[in-house]
Amino acid sequence: MAERFTKGMARNIYYGGGVFVFLLLVGLTFDTMLKMPERDHRVNLTESVARGKGVWEHNNCIGCHSLMGEGAYYAPELANVFDRRGAGSEQSFRAFMSAWMAAQPLQVEGRRKMPQFHLTQEQVDDLSEFLIWTSRIDDNDWPPNIEG
């Protein structure tokens, strides 16, 4: 090895490192794209789930809630709300969501107030389907505790 670090050596390290990082990025992207179908269960997407996502976006639920760690932390995480409140029963969860959305805003002292969005029963059912679908995504056990 030379006693001095030359411009040519620096250039080779720069280009070699750049190529290495680029190939690593391509490899990791390819690996992720291969694993996504088995993790996100996209075959279970329905029109109702898509409409529920529309309700979620239209009412800016992410402005207060988080979903799989993304969004605001003002209100509870909802990626596992089906597991928390549905007890594994889709019918029970839909009933819970209907009652919960109709009861808003709760008049409990010291509790944050969720607004009343005046959703139709179909919109509540679609939102429920969207939350059920998101709870079944393999998200590496996020959130770390059941209460989000």
Residue range 87-132, pLDDT digits in tens? 889 999 999 999 999 999 988 887 888 999 999 999 999 999 999 9
HSE (side-chain half, CA atoms, 13 Å) at 54: 11
Q: CA dist 102 to 28, 44, 97, 106, Å? A: 45, 28, 8, 10
Segment 66-85 mean pLDDT: 91
Residue range 3-36, pLDDT digits in tens? 888 999 999 999 999 999 999 999 999 999 998 8
19 membership: H or E segment, kind and range: helix 7-40
What is the band of 1 on the pLDDT scale with cuts at 50, 70, 90? low
Q: Compute the mean pLDDT over every residue in the chain, rounded to the nearest whole number.
A: 91
By CB neighbour count within 10 A (0-12 exposed, 13-18 middle, 19+ buried), where does 103 fall?
A: exposed
**How many other C-beta atoms can be found within 10 angstroms of the C-beta atom of residue 77?**
21
Its pTM stands at 0.78
Residues 86, 89, 90: CA angle, nearest 5 degrees: 85
